Structure formats: C-alpha cells, structure tokens
Structure 1
Amino acid sequence: MRVRARIAVATVSGKAYYKLVNELKSRNIPFLSLVPGEPIPQSIGVVLTTDSEKSLINHQKVLVYNIEEDPSNVINEALRIITSKNLYEELIIGVDPGKTFGVAVLADGKILRREEFSSIEKAIDMIFVELKNNPSKIQKIRIGKGVPDLAEEIARRLESSLPENIVIEMVDEAGTSTLKNMGFKRKLSDADSAIKIASKKGERRTRSVDG
C-alpha cells in the first residue's frame, strides 16, 4: 500500500531540489514534487521551497531551505509539523563506533536520520546538532561496545559536554551488525547497525563526579 505524501518539494532550483530529494529518499519519506505556483493538494501538510520562491507558494505551512545548509534540519522540522509534534516524547541516538562511525537518530521510534562518518569528531558533532534540533522530553544516547576503546572515548567526550539529564547507555552489539533474511545473514551498514543499537536497551553509565 502506497503511503500518501504529506511533504511537498516546490522549487525549480536544481541544487535545492537535488539536496532535499536525496535526503527525503535516504529516509524513505514520501514526498510530492511541485513547481512553485502549482496548486497544492489538501493532503500536503508542509511545503519545502527556497527563499526566492516562497512568495509563489500558497500554503499555510512553508519552510524555506537554504541550499548552503544541511537539508536534514529543514526536513526534521517538516516531520515535526506533519506529525503535529513540537516536542518528541523520546529521542534516541544510536552510535556504532569503528573504522566508520554509524550514527542514527530515532524520535518516538521513527528514524529521522542515519549517517556514516570517517572520524569521531564528525560523529560527535552530529550528535550535538541532533540533540539541539530535536526537542524531546527524554534524550538518550546508546553507544555500541563492539570496539570498547572507541566506545569509551565517545562516551567520555559526550559526558564532558552534555547535561546529566541526557542518558548515555553502553549497548552490547550482539545481533546489531547482521540481519537474518530467509535463513541467511546479511552484514548491515554501520548506519543501519546504529539503528539497531538505538533500539536496544543498554547499561546506563553513571556520571563520575570530579572532586
């Protein structure tokens, strides 16, 4: 059954369209492509466009995308609008440390974003950005323990910068790196492993108190 699109992309800017559509497709979010000025179906809850084209959009919910910015932020905002949520109940960020760092963001069980990074710094930067951009009552970070030294390093860096109300859990990675399908096991990408880590309860870290 095809899911009806609630998000429309209305722009003739090739660069803006490419970046927005790539981000939407990577998250499997249905969308409708429109030319600015075209009639907008009633089923559409929010329209993404550029600053120069927003005056052509006849809709009560219009989000302007700056093509120099990461499209994930405006799409996160669009998702909050169509789900009528200014505040999520629970935001969980899963981290799969290794040669490549997988990071996945789940809000109330839905995947908002999944990425892979070549450095620990970029992975941590994304965590900070997603915590800031996705207000929620409960915020958790779950880190896979498959590479203990890296997992500990990430946890320490996060603990030094994040408030204590953000829970950090260390997760056993057993079963998070493969997917059973028709009796066969398939290796998951680091980003997909991060999703499984985010979905698995871990052991809560106790913040150390410096004396």
Structure 2
Amino acid sequence: MPFLRDIQNDKLVVSTLKGKSYYNITKFLKYNNLNYESLSPIEALESNAKIILTSREESIFFLKKQNTQIIHDTELNKEPVVIKAKIVKKIMEKMICDDQLTIGIDPGNRIGIVVYYFHQEIESIVLSSIESVIRFLMIILEEISSCRKIVRIGDGDINMARNLAEFIKFKFKRLVHIEIVNESGSSISSSIEVNRRIIRDKSSAKIIAFRNGKTFEIP
C-alpha cells in the first residue's frame, strides 16, 4: 500500500502572492507532513497539480483549470482533518479504489482517537470529554465522503463505549458500521508520565482501529 508522502510528487501546489495566505497555507501543510511545491499563479496554471491552495481572491485565476481541486486559505479554519481528507482523496482516488474511512477510539479518562482514510492516517488525537469526542465524530462522519465508514470502539470503558456507539447508531443508522473491540493487549501501564500516556492512548486507538470486534446493533 503506497504512502501519501511517497507519491505526492508535484500534485500539491501552493500558489498565492499574498504573504499572510502563503504563511497560513504552508504552516498547515508542514504541520500535516504534506509535501508541496510553491509556484507563481502562471506557473501553477500550467502545472499538472491535482490540488492548488491559494487565497479566495486569487482562486478566480484557476477557475478554468480542469481536473484540479482549488482549496482556499479560509477553508483551513475548518477542522484540519476535513481539509486533509480532501487532499488525500484527490491524490489517492485514482490509485486506490477503497475509500474506506476507519475510526479507532480508545475510551477512558483521556479518549484516544485515530482516523484512517484511503488507508492513510489523517488524524491522531486525544480528547478529554465525551462531548468533545461527539463533536469531533459528527464533523468527521458528516463531512468526509466515503462508501464505507467504520467506527471501532475499545471496551476498556464499556459504558462510555456503549454511549458513543448508541449515539453514532442513532444519528447515522446504517451509514456507519460500528464495532465494540476487545482491548486486551492494546494498553500499557497507566503509571507513566502524561506525555507518554497521550502516546499510549493514541497507540491503543490505532490497535483498536485494525482489530475486528463485535458488530454493535441497537435492539
């Protein structure tokens, strides 16, 4: 399975003459480990870029460019994982037919979440409340397009796991497949410092994401 960073080449281009827009766009791309090329608007127009990131004002320059997705700098104010998903989809969709969206959740006092799209990890975070998790899941499941959406939730905190599963099932019905996963072997000792605990929660969520569980259904 090819990794996004290995196949990007010149498919992602930053093209803007506005200093603030350029700074915001490149900051976002660097934070998300996405390779890019900086081109002038004329160079970008003649390039084979699949995606061009520019300012809203300058985007009109690229309206006639075919087979290219234009992303405005103002869109980066949205949930970053949604923008990254757009980029991943545009780059990967002709190479990989499987656009599966997989979310792994490690419930507990700190809730680890990992998101995979087109078999690429696009997010790995730790949240501190079930409310923040629900808000995050709503954005992911509503705004990222996928033929198959899977949410796998660890059973380490079974009450929280069931609450999350019930909410997702009630909201999305059959559009999302939900599994409750046995967490055995996915965690390490809790008597470690905070930074390592955050890493642990993310690692546990990754294991859960790829471990088959029991399909959750509401009676």
TM range (shorter): 0.7 to 0.9
1:39 match: 43
Is 1:139 the counterpart of 2:174 in the alignment?
no
Specify whether residues 148 and 79 from structure 1 end up closer, same or farther in structure 2 by C-alpha distance, changes over 3 A only: same
Q: Per the alignment, in what secondary structure is the counterpart of residue 206 of structure 1?
A: coil
Q: CA RMSD in A?
A: 3.1
TM superposition score normalised by structure 2: 0.74
TM superposition score normalised by structure 1: 0.76
Is 1:116 the counterpart of 2:154 in the alignment?
no
Identity, in percent, stands at 26
Contact preservation (8 Å) 1:145, 1:171: yes
1:74 match: 83
For 1:80 and 1:133, the matched residues in 2 are separated by 13
The structure richer in strand per residue is: 1
Unaligned runs of 5+ in 1: 179-185
2:72 match: 64
1:190 match: 201
Is 1:161 the counterpart of 2:165 in the alignment?
no
Contact preservation (8 Å) 1:36, 1:56: no
Q: Per the alignment, in what secondary structure is the counterpart of residue 78 of structure 2?
A: coil
Shift of 1:45: 1.7
The structure richer in helix per residue is: 2
2:55 match: 50
1:149 match: 159
1:102-159 deviation line (CA, Å, top 9, x unaligned): 2222123221222222221121122121112222222111001122222222122222
Q: Per the alignment, in what secondary structure is the counterpart of residue 179 of structure 2?
A: strand
Contact preservation (8 Å) 1:20, 1:71: no
Specify whether residues 79 and 54 from structure 1 end up closer, same or farther in structure 2 by C-alpha distance, changes over 3 A only: same
Is 1:202 the counterpart of 2:207 in the alignment?
no
